[in-house]
């Protein structure tokens, strides 16, 4: 349950338009996991993108396209988002909503497992990489982020706290264990300046040195 302060700030600084509201309703009807980025996360991603003059974004985990829309709207006309989605049904839903938002020219949804897709980007350069997918491969995703995101660029990752489960040492779920390991690596990685912001369920933000 979102508290009153969060709702107040989101309404003031990150109001969702009819396209994003329709996306959430459609995702609920379609039975998608309730993991679309919160408005305050989307707004923070926009601020990060604009602060570095980003033009190219790589996203791991499209779902219904909510975060893709937030990010694409923060890019210049020639900016592009490439988003990887493993589920064909989710990818089709995302493309439908991207079309409704008039953003199909700026966002490419590639179908397939991220672990298998990421090597195809080797040699390319991105301004921001956004991780919002399965937890167990996070360390591998970070390896690719360090390879693909240019110096001065941003690595961001959503749902970092699992509703506080990462704080419970009795929680030995593989996803929770992977998150804790990811946090330790972010904190210690000499190539990054990183932190986790208490936005929604935790948003990791790291600048590549």
pLDDT tens readout for residues 15-53: 999 999 888 888 777 766 666 789 999 999 999 999 999
Residue 180 vs residues 141, 160, 177: alpha-carbon distances, Å: 15, 9, 5
pLDDT digits (tens, 9 = 90+) for 117-176: 999 999 999 999 999 998 999 999 999 999 999 999 999 999 999 999 999 999 999 999
What is the token pair recorded at 58?
A: 């790589």
Instruction: Give the residue extent of every domain in the chain.
Output: 4-208
Q: Which CATH code, of 3.40.1440.60, 3.50.50.60, 3.30.530.20, 3.40.50.150, is assigned to 4-208?
A: 3.40.50.150
pLDDT digits (tens, 9 = 90+) for 72-122: 999 999 999 999 999 999 999 999 999 999 999 999 999 999 999 999 999
How much is the pTM?
Answer: 0.94
Using the structure block, give the residue that is written with the tokens 């949804």.
109
């Amino acid at each position: 349950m979102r508290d009153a302060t969060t709702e107040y700030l989101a309404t003031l600084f990150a109001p969702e338009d009819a396209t994003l509201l329709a996306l959430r309703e459609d995702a609920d009807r379609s039975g998608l996991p309730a993991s679309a980025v919160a408005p305050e996360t989307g707004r923070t991603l926009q601020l990060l993108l604009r602060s570095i003059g980003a033009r190219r974004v790589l996203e791991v985990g499209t779902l219904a396209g909510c975060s893709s829309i937030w990010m694409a709207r923060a890019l210049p006309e020639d900016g592009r988002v490439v988003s990887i989605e493993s589920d064909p049904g989710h990818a089709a839903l995302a493309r439908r909503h991207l079309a409704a938002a008039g953003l199909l020219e700026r966002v490419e949804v590639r179908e397939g497992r991220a672990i298998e897709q990421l090597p195809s980007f080797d040699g390319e350069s991105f301004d921001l990489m956004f991780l919002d997918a399965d937890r167990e491969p996070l360390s591998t995703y970070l390896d690719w982020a360090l390879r693909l995101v240019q110096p001065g660029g941003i690595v961001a990752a959503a749902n970092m706290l699992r509703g506080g489960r990462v704080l419970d040492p009795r929680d030995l779920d593989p996803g929770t264990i992977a998150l804790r390991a990811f946090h330790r690596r972010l904190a210690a990685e000499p190539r990054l300046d990183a932190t986790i912001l208490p936005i929604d369920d935790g948003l990791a933000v790291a600048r590549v040195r």
